[in-house]
Structure 1
Amino acid sequence: MTQLKSRLMTFLMFLVPVLMVPEYTNAKEPSEAEIKEMIQEQFERMYQKGVDDLEDRIVITGGVKPFAVVTDTGDKTKTIRIKQIEEMPADLAIEVLRRSLIALVKKGKIGATAVFYTAANPNKESEADRVLVVEMEHIFGPTLAQLVPFNVTDGKARFGEQVVVEMEKKIFNINVGEESKE
């Protein structure tokens, strides 16, 4: 029940700016289709911003250290990089990034996340030896991971066909209203 109240409070935080504008005072509650469209648009914006941010890095190093693109409660998209992560092993870096995002969620600062990192390709039959992983989560529930196999040859990244799968929540599996212990 408290998780439902927390989600409702976050939803209301999205609506407050709209309700404060006079011409929207008679606005009706968004439909399920409108909410799904908003979530899709946020996921697309975060994905595009992240891909734009990593293209050069992936060619130079053959991978990227974990970073995130988030949509804040004002519907602004921001990139989050933690300087110390650059020196950490990949598995530890991902965990540190996730914990940092959880702390921001608990403070009510973000409503959607996209965590970007590269890993060994789990599909041994693929020609690509690496995969770009993008884990996307939204406070309203949708959670998915996008895996894109790639190779870097002759100074160019060549991406294969993406696979999208549902995944377990890693960031929004907390009660948003609870105090951050991080």
Structure 2
Amino acid sequence: MAAVVAVAAFALRPMWRSRRLKSKFGPEYDRTVQEAEDRRAAERELAQRERRHSELNLRELSEHEKQRYEMEWSRVQEQFIDDPPQALGAADRLVIAIMADRGYPTQSYEQQVADLSVEHAQPVGHYRTAHDIATAAASGRASTEDMRTAIVHYRELFQDLLVGAGHHSTHNK
């Protein structure tokens, strides 16, 4: 009987892993599966992100830092009225600055997205969209409505990194 239970548990392990990863990563799970050669490769990638993330030395922001970033975000929103493309660039830089202050590596955009996806799975998809729109806006290829969408998406990640820092972080050292 114990052998049957052990075999059943071993057989169900991949399904449990898939469910856990899908629950944790949400839409990022689906995007990763779609881009990978197969589901197992995608799940290995997501598990590797979790391992890398667990090694990061993340920290919460102080109240003073949070207030400073909120003031900077207000300036970005004000700038958006007069110069949306410049404001999107400023929003992108502000998100990267918060990431750096929290302890995330910020050298490469793809690595930023991968690292963020572990604790900020919901807004990371919107961050991708916002970043793409900001890139298009910098060369004059984005509509005003696209830029509005991007600033809303940046704000979502900004708030998640700023306010949600203490709520999400489980790997602070």
State the TM-score, normalized to the length of structure 2.
Answer: 0.29
Structure with greater strand percent: 1
Structure of higher RCO (CA pairs closer than 8 Å, 6+ residues apart): 2
Which protein has the bigger helix share?
Answer: 2
